[in-house]
Structure 1
Amino acid sequence: MPEFSHSAHWGAFRARWEGDTLQVLPHPADPNPSPVLQNIPSALRNRARVAAPAVRRSWWEGGPGPRDRGRDEEFLEVGWDEVLDRLAAEVRRVHAGHGPAAVYGGSYGWASAGRFHHAQGQIHRFLSMSGGYTQSVNTYSGGAAEVLLPHVLGPFEPVTRSVVTWDQVAAHTDTVLAFGGMALKNSTVGSGGVSRHVERGAMGAAHRRGARFVLVSPLRPDLPPEVDARWLAPEPGTDAALMIGLAHTLVAEDLHDRAFLARHCAGWETYAATLRDADWAAGICGIPADEIRALARRLAAGRTLITVSQSLQRAEHGEQPVWAGLALAAMLGQIGLPGGGFVYGLGSLAQYGRVPNAVPVPTLARRPNPIRSYIPVARVADMLLNPGALYQYNGEDHVYPDVRLVWWCGGNPFHHHQDLTRLRRAFGRPDTVVVHESVWTATARHADVVLPATTTLEREDIGAAGTDSLIVAMKPVAAPFGQARDDHAIFAALAGRLGFGERFTEGRTPREWLEHLWDRTRKGLADKGFPAPDFDEFWAAGELLLPPGPDDGGMLAAFRNGGRPLYTESGKIQIASEEIASYGYDDCPGHPAWIPPTEPPTREHPLWLVSNQPATRLHSQLDFGATSAEAKVDGREVMRIHPSDARVRGITDGDVVRLHNARGACLAAARVTDEIRAGVVQLPTGAWYTPLSDEDPTCVHGNPNVLTRDVGSSRLAQGCTGQLTTVQVSRYEGAPPPVDAHRPPRIVPAADARPE
C-alpha cells in the first residue's frame, strides 16, 4: 500500500491504509516521537464528525438575535447554497447596521500544521477583505509574557525562540533552574509540525555531562525522571517571591555581577531597594530559607540557565515571575552566553530552543485589518457581555465593541477559555455565532451555524515551521467526510456572494496556491546557493530538509557582545521600567514584585487546582482519539491528588470525585500520587465540556475550566489566568452520571429543514 507524507502539530508522520484501517507511523528521523500521533487514525470517520451544514432551529426559523444557545437544542441539516446565502446576507446586515467592528473573527491557529489551510490565515483574509472586523491579539498560552517582554527585553519572538538552544544546554549549561519545569508533554507540540523531538535527548546529554537540574513546580513530572532533578515544590503562585529571596541572597553575599548590571541593565537600583530576604520568601513559598540561600550560591557557581515556563504566567499577576526570573538571570550576568542567562518558554513548545531555518518557509501572508478594533484574546467573554465598557490594556484605555456576529474558525473557546458558565452566557448575547468545525466540539454545540470543515488528512497542504528543518508535502489520505469543505473553499464561496471572490482567490486553485507559496522557499534556497527544487519535484519527493541558520544566540548575544541596543525604553534590559510605572497599575508595578493572590485557599475551598496542558492530546484536539481515551477512567478525565489530601477525604485511587467552587463543578477520576505537592490537585484541560444538562452546568467529563476564573493577569497584559484556582474536592457518592461527550446533537434531516 502507498505511504503518504503528512504532518501534525505533534509530529511529522507517514500514513497508509491496511484494508479499512489507517496506520500512522512516526517519521523515521524522530528520536522521541509523540504518542499523541495515535489519536489520528480514529479521527477520520468518528461519530463526532460534522457531516453536513447544520443550523440551530431557533436561528433558522426565528432569524438572528440573542438567544440561549444551549447544547440541547435541535439542529437542522441544510444545503450549502442555502446556508451560504443566509450567511452572506448576515454579513451585509451587520456591516450596514452596526459596522465592521461588530464582527468578531475568532481563531486560535492550531487547526492544521499546513501553512495554506491555516485557519487563522483564511478567516482573517476573508474578514479583512469584507471590510474589517474585531480581532484578537496575543494568546492564551503566553498572553502576559507577550506584552511584558517587549517592554523589558525585546520583541517576543526574537527573545524567546532561539536565543538559547537545546544544543547549547547539552554542551554548556551547568545548572538549569526550571520554574514551572520543562515537561516533555508540552514540547511534543509545535506549530507547523515537528520532525525531531530533541528535548529529552538534550536534557539527558546535559545531565550525563554533569549539569544539575532544579525543578520548581508543584508537579514532579514537569521534568523527565532521567535528569534526576532536585524537586522544590513551593506554594503555587509564589515563584516571584522565591526569585526575590534568591536575588536578595546574591546581593547579601556579593554574588551578583555588578559590571553586567551597570553596563547592560536599567532600573537595577529601583529593584534592589525592594528586595526581601530568604526568610521572608520562605514564609510565603514554603521552601526553607537555608535551601533558598544554598540554591542562590549554586546559581552563581557556574553557567546557569533560568527558565520560566508558560504555565507560570497563565495566572493572576503572571507577568511577575517572568520579570523576576529575568532580573535574577541579569544579576548573574550570563544573559547572551551560550546555554546561560534567561529564556522564557523553553520546553513549553517544540519550536523553542531550536535555530531558525536559513530560508523562509511557505506561509499565507496575513492581510492587514482595515479597521483598528481588537481585544486581548482572553477577554472575549468580557467583550460580549459588556459592549461599550472601558478597560485598560498595555498603557491605554480601550472600549469593548458591540459585537453582533461571532465567526469562529479553527479554535475551541469552550476549551481555551475560563469560567465556562460565564462564557455560555456570553455566547448568548450576539445575534449570530458561526463555527467552522470538523467535529462536534462544545463550541460547535453552542453555535447557530456549523459548517463542516475537512481535516488535514482530507486535503493538500505544506507542513512547515520556521525552526524545523523538515518541510512536508501533506498529501490527502482520504476523501472529505460527508459534505465537508476546506475553509478556503467556504470563504471563497462566501466572498463570491459578497462581491470579492476573485480578489479572495486571486484566480488560484488550492494546488496553485501551494505552488505560489512554494516559490518563496525555492527563491530563498536559490539565493543562498542551495539546491532549489521546483514545486513538482518537491511534491514528488514528499519532503525536503532546509538548511539551518547559525546557533549564535540571536539578538541577546549580539546585545551582549556588540552593544547592539535592545528595543526597550533604554535600549537595555529593564529590571525596572519607568514606562510601566507610569501606567499606574497596582496589579503590575514598575518592577518585579510578589503580589498576593486575590483568591487564596479558604476553609470552603482549601486546595489549589493546577489546570495544565494534557499529555494525551493537543489542547482539546482529538479528545476522542485512542491515546486520549486510554488515559481516562470510564471515559472521565483523571485528577491527581496527594495521599494526605485523599486520606482526609476518604478518596481512594479510581474513585469518582467532585471538584467544586463558587463558579461551578466537575467530576473526575482520582489518581492518588505523591508526585504532587500536598494541598494541590491537578486536572488537565481539554476534556470536552459536557454539562449534565442546560440547567445543570456540572461537567461530567472533567473540564477544569468550569472552575477557573475569567479575569486578566493584570491591567498591563490582560492575559489568561486559567492555570490556578482554588477548589474543594469530595468523593462522589452514588452512581455517577454517564459520559457521552462526543455525541453529536439532535439533527433533523435536510428534507425537513426548511424555514417556516
Structure 2
Amino acid sequence: MFRGEVDGSGALRVRPRPGDPDPSALLRNIPSAVGHRARVLRPTVRRGWWQDGPGPTDRRGRDAFIEVGWDEVLDRLAGELRRVRDAHGPQGIYGGSYGWASAGRFHHAQSQLHRFLNTAVGGYVGSVGTYSGAAAETILPHVLGPSGPVSKATVTWEQIGAHTDTVLAFGGMAIKNSAVAAGGVSTHVERAAMAAAARRGTRFVLVGPLRSDLPPEADAQWAVVPPGSDTALMLGLLHTLVVEGLHDTAFLERYCVGWEALEEYLLGKADGTVRDAEWASGITGVPAGEVVALARRAATGRTLVTVAQSLQRAEFGEQPVWAGLALAAALGQVGLPGGGFCYGLGSIAYYGRRKVAVPVSPLPQGRNGVREFIPVARIADMLLHPGEEFDHDGRRLRYPHVRLAYWIGGNPFHHHQDLGRLRRALGRLDTFVVHEPAWTATAKHADVVLPSTMTIERDDIGATSLDPIMSAMHRLVDPPGAARDDFAIFTGLAERLGAGREFTEGRDVRAWLAHLYERTRAGLDRQGLPAPSFDEFWAAGEVELPLRADDGGLLAAFRADPDRTRLPTPSGRIEIGSATVAGFGYPDCPGHPAYFAPTDAPDERHPLWLVANQPATRLHSQLDYGAHSAAAKVAGREVVRIHPDDAAARGVADGEVVRLFNDRGACLAGARVTDDVMPGVVQLPTGAWFDPADPGADPAAQVPFCVHGNPNVLTRDVGSSALAQGCTGQHTAVQLERWDAALPPVTAHDPPAVEPREAGR
C-alpha cells in the first residue's frame, strides 16, 4: 500500500503508507510507468488476423500491427467470440487470466474475464492450481487439508517470536518475497519479526543453495544443499529420529495414519536402501554428523518446519511438502504455537498473519457452464495435443480443443516454461486476445491487443482477508491514450453479445465498489465496531478491520481434540501415508513421501544448476521497465549470480555479460560474482521480458535466444508429477560462458512496428 499525488510539475510522487516499518523499494517502479514508451495506447491488431481472418499461423510474434478504433475492434471481436461459441461451444475458449493484475477487488483481471465469459459466452475452459503452488495445492488436501487453512493461518510471526526455538527453513524465507501480497500489504513485519526472534534465541536454519533466502537479521545457520535435494535431507533427519528413539510415537499413533509405510521406507525394508544420515549426506553434501546434530536439535524444544513455495515448483515438487509435514509430525509438534509445519511461510506477505474477522467481498464470477479444465501449467500441452489424455489427481482426463485464448492480467511469456515451445503452441490458436497496459512479449504475440489501465489510473478497493487495512484506491493519473479499464471493455463486448445487463447488473464502477464494500461494512456493524458508509470510507482513504484471535486455527483445534475436530483429509488425520494417493498408482508420486533424483540435472554438457526464482526488483514481470527494476540490470540485462569458483573457471569477471544456454534455448545476462550462491549453482530470476534476438524467425525452427535475460527460454515444460502436473520452472541445467561478441540491443520495452492501415482494410 502506498500514497500518491501529482506534483506541480505533473510528475507522480509515491510514498509508503505511514506506519509501514519496512516499506518495499518496489514502489519506485510506479512513477516511472507513467508515460513510458512501453505502454499500449490504442487498440492494436495483428495485420494478418485483421485482413485474413482467424486461424492457426506461425506469424504470431512476427507480423506487424495496425491500430483500429474501439468500436470496430469490439465489433470484430464480439463476432469472433460468437463464431467460436456457435461452432465449437464455449469449451472452444480458454479463459487464460492468470497472474496478479491488480490489488483491487473489483478490477481483478481474472474475476472480470471469468465473469464476462460466464455471463456473455456461456463459460470457458479454465485451469486449476497455480504456477506458484500447484504441487502443494494438490498434495496437501490429501494429507493435511487445503493449503489456505494449513499455511496462511496456522502459525503467526507473533507465535514464532514468543515460542519457537528452532526454525528449519527449507528453501528459506526471502524478504523479497514477502514484500508483496494479493490485495495489498499495509505493514511489512517479516524482517523485524525474524530479528526479534533471533534476539530471543530462536535458531534459524536455512536449507538451500542461496544465502540470501534468509535475511541477515535472522542470523541463520546455512545448510548448503543443491537444488532438488531437500527431501533427501528431510528423510535423513527422519531416519535419525527413528533410530535414536527421538520421534513422538504417541503423536503419530493418535493424530496420524500411514506412518508405518514411511518408517519401512526409511529403514529400507522393501528395497534395501537405508535413508540414513550417510545416505542423505551423499545426496545433499551436508556431512552426516551435521545431519544427526540437526535432527537432535529439532527434537529439543519447539521446532517449526517451513517449506518454501520454491521447493514444490520443481520436478517431484509434491515430495518436499509431504516430507516436511512428516518431519513435523514425527517431532510431535503440529498444532503447537510456533511449532509444527507451515507451507509457504515467507513466500508471500500474508502467510504468518492473523485472518480478518469480517468478510471481504470479491467480484462474483458467475457460473461456468464448461466442465473441461487443465492444470494451469499445461497450457502448451493443451494447445499442441488437443484430445490427448493426461493424468491429474487420480483422474484420467483429455485436453480440450481450444480455438480462442483470452488472456488478461497475466504474462505467460514470464511465468511459463520453454518459451520456444510456448510460441509454437500459441500458433495453433485461431485467435489470441489480450488486454495489456504494456507491450509485453505476450502482447507482441497476440492477434488483438486492447489497451487496459493500471491501478493508478482507476478507482478500486484494496483488501485481503489477511491484512487489517482496507484501502480506498483513488485514481491518481488519467489513463494514457485510449486505454480503458477491463470492466469497460467487457461491458462493450457483453452489450454486443446481448448480455450487457447480465454482466454489469446495472452498476457502474462506483456502484460496484459500494456494493462490494457493503458486505464488509455490515460485518463491522454486526460486531458493534465503527462501520463507516462507503462515502465516508472513500473520503477517509482506509478503514481498519478486526483480526481473529491468534489461536492456531484448525491445526490447534485438531491437536486439542482430533475426534471432535477432524482434518479435511480422507481419514480425518494427518496422512503420512495416503491410501488414496497410493491407489492412484503413480510411479512418480507413491503413497508416502519419497526421494526421486532430478532427471533434469547437470551433466558434462550443462554442468550448472540454474535456479530461476522470483526477482527482488519487481513483482514477477510487472513494471520490468520501472526505474527500480532497470537500475539493477547490468548493460540493460537481468543479473545472474555465480560463485567465484565457477566464474574463474570460465574467465568471467563481475559486471561482464555472459551467455547461459542448454538445448532448449539461450539468453544473455549480466554477471554478479558472489559467494552467496553455492558452487555449481547460478541464479537468474524470472521477470525480464522475453526479447528474442531475431523476432522474425520461424518459431518452428528457432531455438530462442533472449538478449534480455529471461530464464524461461531454458526451463523445461513438464509437470511436477502425474498427481499435480504443476510447474517445474524453478530448476534446470545450463552452461555459462563469457559473451565476447558485440552486444545486441535490448528492445524488450519498445513497442512493435505499427504500420499504416491501408484504405478500406
| TM class, shorter-length | over 0.9
Pick aligned residue for 1:41 from 31, 35, 47: 31
Quote the offset at 1:365 in angstroms.
Answer: 2.1
Equivalent position of 1:520 in the other structure: 519
1: CA distance between counterparts of 2:353 and 2:70?
A: 44
Task: State the secondary structure of the residue aligned to 2:706.
Answer: coil
AA in 2 matched with 1:222: D
Structural RMSD (CA): 1.0
State the Cα deviation string for residues 424-464 of structure 1 (Å, max 9, x = none). Answer: 00111100000000000000000000000011111110000
- Contact map agreement 1:49 1:440 (CA 8 A) in 2: yes
AA in 2 matched with 1:544: V
- Contact map agreement 1:73 1:745 (CA 8 A) in 2: no
Query: Within the alignment, does 1:729 sit opposite 2:729 as a pair?
Result: no
1: CA distance between counterparts of 2:48 and 2:600?
A: 39
Are the structure 2 counterparts of residues 283 and 507 from structure 1 closer, same or farther at C-alpha, using a change threshold of 3 Å? same
Equivalent position of 1:479 in the other structure: 478
Equivalent position of 1:703 in the other structure: 710
Equivalent position of 1:51 in the other structure: 41
Quote the offset at 1:507 in angstroms.
Answer: 0.4
Equivalent position of 1:552 in the other structure: 551
1:506-585 mapped onto 2 (5 Å cutoff): 506-563=505-562, 564-585=565-586
Equivalent position of 1:600 in the other structure: 601
- Contact map agreement 1:362 1:462 (CA 8 A) in 2: no
AA in 1 matched with 2:70: W
- Contact map agreement 1:53 1:83 (CA 8 A) in 2: yes
2: CA distance between counterparts of 1:754 and 1:562?
A: 76
Task: State the secondary structure of the residue aligned to 1:747.
Answer: coil
2: CA distance between counterparts of 1:620 and 1:729?
A: 23
Pick aligned residue for 2:237 from 238, 246, 259: 246
Task: State the secondary structure of the residue aligned to 1:128.
Answer: helix
AA in 2 matched with 1:536: D
- Contact map agreement 2:35 2:480 (CA 8 A) in 1: yes
2: CA distance between counterparts of 1:250 and 1:274?
A: 14
AA in 1 matched with 2:579: E
Task: State the secondary structure of the residue aligned to 1:250.
Answer: helix
1: CA distance between counterparts of 2:625 and 2:446?
A: 21
State the Cα deviation string for residues 294-342 of structure 1 (Å, max 9, x = none). Answer: 0000001110000000000000000000000000000001000110000
AA in 2 matched with 1:290: G
Equivalent position of 1:296 in the other structure: 295
Equivalent position of 2:270 in the other structure: none
Equivalent position of 2:354 in the other structure: 355
Equivalent position of 2:465 in the other structure: 466
1: CA distance between counterparts of 2:61 and 2:46?
A: 10
Query: Within the alignment, does 1:152 sit opposite 2:174 as a pair?
Result: no
1:588-737 mapped onto 2 (5 Å cutoff): 588-694=589-695, 695=697, 697-737=704-744
Task: State the secondary structure of the residue aligned to 1:36.
Answer: helix
Task: State the secondary structure of the residue aligned to 1:483.
Answer: coil
AA in 1 matched with 2:642: I
Task: State the secondary structure of the residue aligned to 1:216.
Answer: strand
Task: State the secondary structure of the residue aligned to 2:31.
Answer: coil
AA in 2 matched with 1:724: H
Quote the offset at 1:12 in angstroms.
Answer: 3.5
Pick aligned residue for 2:207 from 209, 212, 216: 216
AA in 1 matched with 2:26: V
Quote the offset at 1:748 in angstroms.
Answer: 2.8
**TM-score between both structures, scaled by the size of structure 1:** 0.97
1: CA distance between counterparts of 2:738 and 2:423?
A: 27
The alignment of Structure 1 onto Structure 2 pairs a total of residues equal to 744
Quote the offset at 1:693 in angstroms.
Answer: 0.9
- Contact map agreement 1:609 1:682 (CA 8 A) in 2: yes
Quote the offset at 1:47 in angstroms.
Answer: 0.3
Equivalent position of 2:319 in the other structure: 320
Task: State the secondary structure of the residue aligned to 2:306.
Answer: strand
1: CA distance between counterparts of 2:290 and 2:344?
A: 25
Equivalent position of 2:108 in the other structure: 118
Query: Within the alignment, does 1:106 sit opposite 2:105 as a pair?
Result: no
Gap regions ≥5 residues in structure 1: 1-10
Gap regions ≥5 residues in structure 2: 267-274
Task: State the secondary structure of the residue aligned to 1:408.
Answer: strand
Quote the offset at 1:733 in angstroms.
Answer: 1.5
1:99-248 mapped onto 2 (5 Å cutoff): 99-129=89-119, 130-248=121-239
Kindly, what percent of the aligned residue pairs are identical? 65
Query: Within the alignment, does 1:745 sit opposite 2:757 as a pair?
Result: no
1: CA distance between counterparts of 2:328 and 2:335?
A: 10
AA in 1 matched with 2:44: A
1: CA distance between counterparts of 2:397 and 2:33?
A: 42
State the Cα deviation string for residues 122-179 of structure 1 (Å, max 9, x = none). Answer: 0000111121110111110001000010000012211110100111111111000000
Quote the offset at 1:536 in angstroms.
Answer: 0.6
Equivalent position of 2:67 in the other structure: 77
Equivalent position of 1:5 in the other structure: none
1: CA distance between counterparts of 2:523 and 2:517?
A: 10
- Contact map agreement 2:4 2:12 (CA 8 A) in 1: no
- Contact map agreement 2:257 2:577 (CA 8 A) in 1: yes
AA in 2 matched with 1:646: A
AA in 2 matched with 1:537: E
Equivalent position of 2:272 in the other structure: none
- Contact map agreement 2:635 2:657 (CA 8 A) in 1: no
Quote the offset at 1:226 in angstroms.
Answer: 1.8
AA in 1 matched with 2:723: L
Pick aligned residue for 1:261 from 252, 258, 261: 252
Equivalent position of 2:54 in the other structure: 64
AA in 2 matched with 1:104: Y
- Contact map agreement 1:61 1:755 (CA 8 A) in 2: no
Are the structure 2 counterparts of residues 673 and 592 from structure 1 closer, same or farther at C-alpha, using a change threshold of 3 Å? same
2: CA distance between counterparts of 1:255 and 1:474?
A: 53
Equivalent position of 2:437 in the other structure: 438
AA in 2 matched with 1:242: L
- Contact map agreement 2:99 2:411 (CA 8 A) in 1: no
Quote the offset at 1:755 in angstroms.
Answer: 5.9
Are the structure 2 counterparts of residues 755 and 296 from structure 1 closer, same or farther at C-alpha, using a change threshold of 3 Å? farther
Quote the offset at 1:71 in angstroms.
Answer: 2.8
Equivalent position of 1:390 in the other structure: 389
Query: Within the alignment, does 1:406 sit opposite 2:405 as a pair?
Result: yes
Task: State the secondary structure of the residue aligned to 2:337.
Answer: coil
Equivalent position of 1:21 in the other structure: 11
2: CA distance between counterparts of 1:385 and 1:437?
A: 25
2: CA distance between counterparts of 1:562 and 1:753?
A: 74
AA in 2 matched with 1:97: A
Quote the offset at 1:754 in angstroms.
Answer: 5.7
State the Cα deviation string for residues 243-286 of structure 1 (Å, max 9, x = none). Answer: 00000000111111111000000000011000111111111111
**TM-score between both structures, scaled by the size of structure 2:** 0.97
Quote the offset at 1:569 in angstroms.
Answer: 1.2
AA in 2 matched with 1:632: K
- Contact map agreement 1:126 1:491 (CA 8 A) in 2: yes
Task: State the secondary structure of the residue aligned to 1:674.
Answer: coil
Bigger drift between 636-645 and 593-602 goes to: 593-602
2: CA distance between counterparts of 1:405 and 1:735?
A: 40
1: CA distance between counterparts of 2:627 and 2:758?
A: 35
Quote the offset at 1:208 in angstroms.
Answer: 0.6
- Contact map agreement 2:147 2:343 (CA 8 A) in 1: no
- Contact map agreement 2:60 2:447 (CA 8 A) in 1: no
2: CA distance between counterparts of 1:637 and 1:586?
A: 38
